[in-house]
């Protein structure tokens, strides 16, 4: 399988690296953080960088997923 970073279109930051250590930039990724559990992620698409990303990668703009409030469930 090809390296997901190969498919970059120029929108992703330099810190977009594999979540496992060691990575090519030597960036230490905080435990448990990866694109797959970032609030910006939606079905493989990052709304922060307007780019498709790999779930097992990480960047330094990672945000925890915000839980739904009870008002979000009301219709």
Residue 1's pLDDT band, with cuts at 50, 70 and 90, is very low
User: What distance in Å separates the CA atoms of residue 62 and residue 40, rounded to the nearest whole number?
Assistant: 8
User: What distance in Å separates the CA atoms of residue 52 and residue 9, rounded to the nearest whole number?
Assistant: 9
Residue 6's pLDDT band, with cuts at 50, 70 and 90, is low
Residue 2 placed within a domain = no
List pLDDT tens digits, range 21-70.
Answer: 777 778 889 999 999 999 999 999 999 999 999 999 999 999 999 887 66
Residue 71 placed within a domain = no
User: What distance in Å separates the CA atoms of residue 69 and residue 52, rounded to the nearest whole number?
Assistant: 27
pLDDT of residue 35: 95
Cβ contact 51:8 at 8 Å: yes
What's the whole-model pTM score?
A: 0.74
**Total structural domains in the chain?**
1
Secondary structure of residue 73 in the 3-state scheme: helix
Residue 69 placed within a domain = no
The arithmetic mean of pLDDT across residues 9-24, rounded, is: 82
User: What distance in Å separates the CA atoms of residue 73 and residue 51, rounded to the nearest whole number?
Assistant: 28
């Amino acid at each position: 399988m090809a390296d997901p970073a190969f498919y970059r279109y120029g929108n992703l930051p330099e810190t977009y690296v594999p979540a496992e250590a060691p990575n090519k930039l030597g960036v230490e990724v905080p435990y448990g953080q990866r694109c797959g559990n970032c609030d910006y992620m939606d079905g493989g698409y990052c709304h922060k960088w307007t780019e498709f990303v790999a779930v097992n990668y990480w960047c330094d703009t990672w945000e925890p997923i915000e839980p739904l409030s009870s008002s979000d469930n009301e219709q």
